[in-house]
Structures are given as C-alpha cells and as structure tokens.
Amino acid sequence: MPLETKIDDFINSNGNTEEEAVSYSSKDFSSDQDVRWCPGCGDYTILKQIQNVMPDLGVPKKDIVFISGIGCAARFPYYMDTFGMHSIHGRAPAIATGLKVSRPELSVWIITGDGDSLSIGANHFVQLLRRNVNVNLMLFNNQIYGLTKGQYSPTAPEGTISKSTPFGSIDHPFNPLSLSLGADGTFVARAMDRDPRHLKKMLNRAHEHQGASMLEIYQNCIVFNDGAFELFTDKKSRPRETIYLEDGEPLVFGKDKDKGVRLDGLIPQVVELNGEYSKDDLWIHDETDTTKANLLSRFFEHPQNGEHLKFPRPFGVLYAVDRPTYDEGVLAQNEYAISKREANLDTLLAGPETWDVK
C-alpha cells in the first residue's frame, strides 16, 4: 500500500486540481516586480524568451519553479510569476535537487551564471549533471562578474583585463560544454541572447529532455564586458564564425552555405563546398554520438583580433541522450521499499530485542 502523505492529499485535493484549460500568454508569466537589470543587458531577451516559451510547455503555472543562486542572472526568479527561490551563491543545483527529488512532478528550472556555476558552485554543477536530475539549467555566460562590478570570471579568456586583473588574467578558462560532457551530462546545448528564435527552440528542447538539461546562453554584459561575443552575434561575422547544429544534418556554415566540416578519421577539417567537396562528404551531426559531441565542444578557440576562427563556434544541441534520471531512481527505490515492508513504527521502536521489567 502506498504511503499517503499530507503533500499528496493536499496537492490532489479539490480546488487545487481542477485544471482550467491551460492557455497562458507570456504575460501571465511576468511578475509585478520591476526588472532591475542594466538597460541593454542580454538578460532582458532571455527573460522574454523564457516567458514566451512557458505557455507552450503545457505545464500548469503552479507546478513551475525557478531556482537561482547569486549574481545578476540570479535575480531572474523575481521576474517570473511562478514559484521561485533566489538562494545563495552557487547552491541552486543542490537546492533544486532536493526539491525535484522530493516533488518529481514539478518542472524545475535553475538560473545561474558563469561565476555561480563554474566557480563557487562548480561542484554542484557537475554533480547535478552526473546524477542526471531531471531539471533544466540555464547557464547565463557573460565571461565577467557583473554584480560585483567587473572582475574576470572562470570563463574569461586568458589575458582578460578586469578590475582584479589589471595586467591580464593568468588562469585558463573553463570550456562549459566540455566540462558538461566530461561530467556525463545527458543534454548539452548552446544558444545566445542575440538569436531569440534559436534560443526559444533550445529552451523547448531543454524542457523536453528527460534528465539534466544544460543550456549555455551567451549573454552580453553591456557594462563590464560589452561585445564579448560580438564575433558570434554580429550579423556580418556570424555566418562565418558560427555553425548551427541540426540533428541528422551535415555541418554546413558560411554566408552562402559554402563551407562545411568533414572528419578525417577523428580530425575535423573545415572545407569549401566548391567542387572538391560536397555536402555528402561532410560530418553528419548525431546528437547521440559522444565522441563527436566532444570534438564539437572543442571548437572553442578564443577570437583573435581580425582573424577568422579555425573552426566555427557551434550552437544548438551538441549532445542529447536518454539515461535514467536520478529522481526516477530515488522514487523507484522508495516505492520498492514501501511495497516491501510495512511502515510499522511500533515494531521499529521495539528493535530486535526487548525485555520486560515487572
């Protein structure tokens, strides 16, 4: 017999379950709080796209929870008219794990930044991915510490001049997608604030994926790191320096779709599609191929002034595979334990051996 708890009773009680036809507009997800990011911040478009995508999810508002850590991006939950928690620095994945494991029916979204998830909270970030907790993690990457007014971040390229590194940063940056793949993340994708349509598509994909969905979003910090991703977001350079991945499609890019990536064994090559090579020679994207996903995540050189990148920066879903989720596993084990043994408190309190004193 399943254990009935107050939460089950309560959630299934009348007045709570009567489902009005869930037809929301994006406005329904906008809270009454004034948004306080800097004018022109990339966070605005991301907020807008998340609010836009929410009505499409088919999830009642009452079942959606946004959890953030600390940083500019972490203010996000205040602006969503859902359940939300603005927690402490780096710990949102741990809080989300506790919530999701205890309430698996909820749709849980983590909003985090490069400092929050790759510096102070890096441990929780990789643990969430390896456990494959069924939540969506939105990593707003702006390669800078904004809220603390402009120190270099763990994704800032070597040599970054910032308040704390007036002579240039020395440490080597994280490659967030390689890190995620290394942690055996089951969904690894990248989007950017300046391409809202693609971003919306990626948000949908992240939601659909059963497991920990890691979506890195390039986000421009207009005050402390303006133009960090300009090479990828600028209409002129974008076609040459980026590649949009589609499952089952060849890796084609360039203004006139005149370039592609082929594999020579395991060595990727950029080729011109001008006769010697055609689309048939190219690498066909396969979201379930770990080796290829790792190769793609390594298309990660840092732009040098005026030079083209050797490999275009990939956007889209690099990797998406099914693996049992942590929350399902916990639930199954708990249910098994409940079915196996009666929860008799008196027997438990008495323990293995008792004696009577008369």
- Which residues form the interface with other proteins (CB under 8 A)? 3-7, 10-11, 13, 15-16, 31, 33, 60-65, 67, 70, 77-78, 80-88, 91, 93-103, 105-106, 123-124, 127, 330, 333-334, 337-338, 340-343, 345-346, 348-351, 353-358
Q: How far apart are CB 128 and other proteins at their closest, in Å?
A: 9
Question: By CB neighbour count within 10 A (0-12 exposed, 13-18 middle, 19+ buried), where does 72 fall?
Answer: buried
- Gap between the Cα atoms of 77 and 81, Å rounded: 8
Residue 96 parent element (H or E): helix 92-102
Residue 1 or 266 having the CB closest to other proteins: 1
Work out how close the CB of 34 gets to other proteins at its nearest, in angstroms, rounded to a whole number: 10
Contact at 8 Å (CB) between 110 and 68?
yes
Contact 268, 298 (CB under 8 A): no
User: Cβ of residue 334: shortest distance to other proteins, in angstroms?
Assistant: 5
- Smallest gap from residue 95 Cβ to other proteins (A): 4
Measure Cα distances from 126 to 108, 142, 288, 291, 357 in Å.
17, 19, 20, 19, 55
Closer of 98 and 159 to other proteins (Cβ): 98
Measured CA to CA, the distance from residue 134 to residue 108 in angstroms comes to 8
Which region holds residue 90: left if phi is over 0, alpha if psi is between -120 and 50, else beta? left
- Please state the separation of Cα 238 from the chain's center in Å: 23
Whose Cβ is closer to other proteins: residue 86's or residue 279's?
A: 86
d(C-alpha 253, C-alpha 282), whole Å: 11
Closest to 71 measured CA to CA, from 46, 89, 94? 89
Least separation, in Å, of the C-beta of 156 and other proteins?
25
Closer residue to other proteins in complex, CB, 66/174? 66
The smaller minimum CB distance to other proteins, of residues 15 and 166, is found at 15
From residue 143, alpha-carbon distances to 46, 59, 128, 167 in Å are 16, 33, 22, 17
CB of 339 to other proteins, least distance (A): 8
Which residue, 167 or 355, is less far from other proteins as judged by CB? 355
The whole-angstrom separation of Cα 88 and Cα 112 is: 11
Q: Compute the chain's Rg from CA coordinates.
A: 23
Give 93 or 312: the residue with its C-beta nearer to other proteins: 93
Q: How far is the CB of 53 from other proteins (least distance, A)?
A: 17
Instruction: Please state the closest distance from residue 125 (CB atom) to other proteins, in A.
Output: 10
Q: Which is nearer to other proteins, 84 or 268 (CB)?
A: 84
CB of 66 to other proteins, least distance (A): 8
Nearer to other proteins, 15 or 39 (CB): 15
Do the bridges between strand 64-68 and strand 107-113 make them parallel or antiparallel, or are there none, so unpaired? parallel
